[in-house]
Amino acid sequence: MSDKEYTAGDHIEAKCTKCKDVTNHTIVAMVDDKPAKVECNTCSGIHKYRSPTTKKAAAKSRTSATKAAKINKIETEWEDLVQGADPTTATTYSMKMSVKNGELINHPSFGIGRVISVTKPNKMEIFFRDGVKLLRCAIG
Ligand SMILES: [Zn+2]
């Protein structure tokens, strides 16, 4: 049905903001073979054509699902990294701390993480539950 070619004057189902419903409309103007302006047969209001299907909402939920999957992946990697580690042995983070690669860090905001790389003179990357953070440190 979506393959039907419309012309001005045709009847089409569209969303009406006044009726707050999908109602029958008459096409007033076409742009690129698609209805652009429609007249509501219920309230006679003329407005932009809105598809009765909620394509936008579907696309949006797909995006957040992808995002959730990505976060899940990070959490799984993080769990692998800190697995078996005793959180009580984690070093509390401070900017002046001296770290080694692989050290377990307890950060006041990010939580438990593991040092995955250290860069001279004073930077380290730590893998926390919500991803990798670049933090300052002293290299031991
Ligand atoms: Zn209407």
E runs forming strands in 1-140: 11-16, 21-31, 34-40, 46-48, 91-92, 98-99, 104-107, 111-119, 123-128, 131-136, 138-139
Higher-confidence residue of 67 and 107: namely: 107
What is the per-residue pLDDT across 14-29, written as a single tens digit (0 to 9) for each? Answer: 999 899 999 999 999 9
Q: How far is the CA of 58 from the centre of ligand 1 (A)?
A: 24
Q: How far is the CA of 61 from the centre of ligand 1 (A)?
A: 28
Mean pLDDT of 106-117: 94
Higher-confidence residue of 40 and 4: namely: 40
Q: Is the pLDDT of residue 59 over 70?
A: no
Domain ranges of the chain: 11-53, 82-139
Specify the pLDDT at position 108.
93
Q: How far is the CA of 24 from the centre of ligand 1 (A)?
A: 8
Residue 50 makes CB contacts below 8 A (sequence gap 6+) with 14, 15, 17
Q: How far is the CA of 1 from the centre of ligand 1 (A)?
A: 22
Residue 139 makes CB contacts below 8 A (sequence gap 6+) with 98, 99, 118, 120, 121, 122, 124
